[in-house]
Structure 1
């Protein structure tokens, strides 16, 4: 019984992992049961079975992409001291993630934002919650650095979140669409510069 449950979980994990790669290239709405079945070498019923529906599979794929980002950027950043050291660590890992993205189409969340921003539904709701959570994390670290006197009080935390996020989104386009080899270093330099303004 245990082996059966473990095998089912392993199959589910394989489907989701493959779905993330497929959705990165084709979009979440371009993720079809047929294409995914071909990728994993299973029947359509076998692919959709662990999830119950294509919609549930899409949600699982989006959630996995968000988890991969958190594992690559947030979790390592949390090992640094709160405030400016943590912000610097997050920026470094964020730029590493953009430069060496595990997804064929670059940052999954950025691509999904372009795809889903005008398409109401559960996928957009999950994406919105993911982005809000990430921006709240950034804001919290900025506030801690400002309260510690390690970061200037102005611009405010919301402005800095917008600045860092905007640089990252521009870098993703420069890396993926423009194939600019200088983009990762530029993004790192600009993000860190935004955090290096003297207090006061």
Structure 2
């Protein structure tokens, strides 16, 4: 029993490194041998934690999801429902990507592109995480509509789709072109879209456009 907390801490260190690697090289870029070399531990010890590459990939997704919740979702849920929560959810996502919580930007953006057309347990786990995020954004938008802070004919699913597209484009452009201004463009695009749908645009913060 005494060794379990230490073992769990060691496993979490391994999975945090795995998530960092996967954010840059994809989940197929993971291997027990590579992690063992990076962390200076034995391959046999790591194999005992996971048993197979697929189990390592699935465990990495779970750890990344926990970090995503801490960085993006939970702080937004501390804001009262409404337009402010919608904005905070988007801002938290942009900040999480911009600060390179994972060195390859958004972990889930990377692995979704990698597994979107590849059936199997790993794809199912990635798809489930994506569905949860889309539903959360749509539900947050719908809450704001029901509170009267977005116009009554707002389509929550459509608006969520657009907001996520702005976020993911900022992530992709910043990585491909090494362009930090992409995040400010993303913020400006999100604010403009919410401004158009808001019943009181003054509730939104000011965002400087990038020229």
Give the TM-score normalised by the residue count of structure 2. Answer: 0.90
Whole-angstrom CA distance in 2 between matches of 1:55 and 1:21: 17
**What residue is the counterpart of 2:7 in the other structure?**
8
**Cα distance between partner residues in 2 of 1:180 and 1:17:** 26
Q: What is aligned with 2:26?
A: 27
CA RMSD of aligned residues (A): 1.4
Q: Unpaired segments of 5 or more residues in structure 1?
A: none
Match of 2:28, SS state, is coil
Q: Is the 8 A contact 2:19 2:61 kept in 1?
A: yes
Following TM superposition, where does structure 1 have runs of at least 4 consecutive aligned residues deviating by more than 4 angstroms?
A: none
| C-alpha separation in 1, matches of 2:42 and 2:72 | 35
1:102 is the counterpart of 2:101: yes
Q: Deviations over 1:80-133 (max 9, x none)?
A: 011211111112211111211212211110111110001111111001100101
> What residue ranges of structure 2 are gaps of 5+ in the alignment?
201-211
String of CA shifts for 1:56-81, please: whole Å, max 9, x gaps: 11101111112211111100000101
Alignment of 1:30-109 (within 5 A): 30-109=29-108
Deviation at 1:169, TM superposition (A): 1.3
Q: Matches of 1:6 and 1:74 in 2, distance apart? A: 27
User: Whole-Å Cα distance in 2 between the matches of residues 60 and 171 of structure 1?
Assistant: 27
Query: How far did 1:179 drift?
Result: 1.5
Matched, 1:193 2:192: yes
**Aligned residues between the structures:** 199
Query: TM-score, structure 1 length as denominator?
Result: 0.94
SS in 2 for 1:82: coil
CA drift of 1:25 comes to 2.1
Aligned partner of residue 50 in structure 1, secondary structure = helix
